[in-house]
Amino acid sequence: VVSVAADDMDPHTEFIYCCGAATELLKFGSSPLSSEDKLLFLVVPGNPGVVGFYRTFMQNLHRLSGRPVWAVSHAGHSKRPDGFSLTDASAAERDDVLGLNGQVEHKLAFLRRHVPIGTRLVLVGHSIGCYMILEMLKRNPELKVLKAILLFPTIERMAQSPQGKVMTPVLCQMRYLAYLPVFLLSLLPGAVQALLVRLVLTDFIPPAANSMYLGGQEMRKVLERDNLTIEKNLDKLIFYYGAADHWCPVTYFHDIRRDFPQGDFQLCDKGFRHAFVLDAGQEVAQMVDSKTLLNAATVYMSMAATRPTSLLAALRAHAALITRTMRAGSGRWWIEMLEWNLKRNGLLISEIYDAVWADFRFHYRNGTSPSARIKCLFLT
């Protein structure tokens, strides 16, 4: 298991203004990023974009990966601290930072201003956060994104989905019902008004209205899937669909897999629901960590199988990265066995991939040496 210091497991919360809107940051790991932090997991949430919902997921992903894991809230969605207004009204209205387009620009602005240039990124999107990540890749192709993991992705036909048909009238036509309590509050005595405003309404009503405003735009604007952006970034994208997700039904999964047969698409077989952060944060973090490592290993191994000579140096460099997070020798063993296997005539990496990967994952977690069983697999 990757060792993470106890105090490093505690979250760090910050509030900043970004694009004129109060923004909450939740950070596990280095804050600020140090010169040694070359890789950052950045979570782009769903709607409501409250980063506190992702605490369990992020904590476990940080523990498993040993990397900094940050989340950035949507503009105007979080409970504000004392002394913060939710928005700088002039800037927010000018740029519509609370709308779908504005929220995308809000995330790009955050990266420009708060993440050091050269930091490699693993973007983790949830729900509408997946749509935002695709837009970020489209608008700034120079982002150093290694992987983008899209969990329960609402990237197309939202209003036509089963849940969208129910929620579209509410989100598009009834947003201002969120302000009804403000009117009712005005009918109460002054002392009661002051108490309720202090305890509840100033924190709850504006974020709720902002969430509904964003939801209404989602129904109107998330229509056709952005196939061009997906095609350009297919090697970076990992999609994870729910088997019983009313926001992105299984038909959407089958459609996108048919259109991109070379893509990395997975249909959940563990019963996770769309709002996985409420009860399956730990399990999804384990899946994301495993999927990220698995995908990286697949790339290296498939490249080595086709161009072994030119890639051995790169593989040795990759082994050094593995060795940093594993007990000494484990990373070297993996590369040595890979090199040895490449010399075998007529044997494809895929023939032994599953068994090797299972053993590699086991020893990665436990910091032990490879099992005799796997050694025998190679040597027989």
Cα torsion 60, 65, 67, 69: sign: negative
Strands of the chain (E only): list them: 12-18, 21-28, 39-44, 69-72, 120-126, 145-151, 237-241, 264-267
7 given a catalytic annotation? no
Confirm whether 310 is a catalytic residue: no
Contacts of 211 (CB under 8 A, 6+ apart): 47, 48, 49, 74, 77
CB atoms within 10 A of CB 46: 25
Residue 62 catalytic?
no
Q: Let me know if 157 is exposed, middle or buried by CB neighbors in 10 A (0-12, 13-18, 19+).
A: middle
Residues making up the chain, counted from first to last: 380
Tell me how crowded residue 236 is: count the other CB atoms within 10 A of its CB.
20
The amino acid at 293 = L
Distance from chain centroid for Cα 251: 23
Instruction: State the residue for tokens 């730990």.
Output: 282
Kindly tell me the burial class for residue 76, based on how many C-beta atoms sit within 10 Å of its own C-beta (0-12, 13-18, 19 or more): buried
Task: Please list, in sequence order, all residues whose beta carbon lies within 8 angstroms of the beta carbon of residue 124, skipping any fewer than 6 positions away.
Answer: 41, 42, 43, 44, 61, 148, 149, 151, 288
- Count Cα atoms within 13 angstroms, Cβ side, for 341: 25
Please list the helix, strand and coil fractions of the chain in percent, rounded to the nearest 5, in that order: 55, 15, 30
Residues 241, 245: Cα–Cα separation, whole Å: 8
Structure tokens at 29: 């790991």
Identify the active-site residue in 274, 318, 330, 363.
Answer: 274
Which position among 65, 73, 78, 127 bears the catalytic label? 127
DSSP annotation of 326 reads S
CA-to-CA dists, residue 232 to 134, 225, 237, angstroms: 10, 13, 10
CA distances from 287 to 2, 56, 57, 62, 268 (A): 16, 14, 11, 13, 10
Selecting among 245, 264, 318, 330, the annotated active-site residue is 245
Active site residues: 127, 245, 274
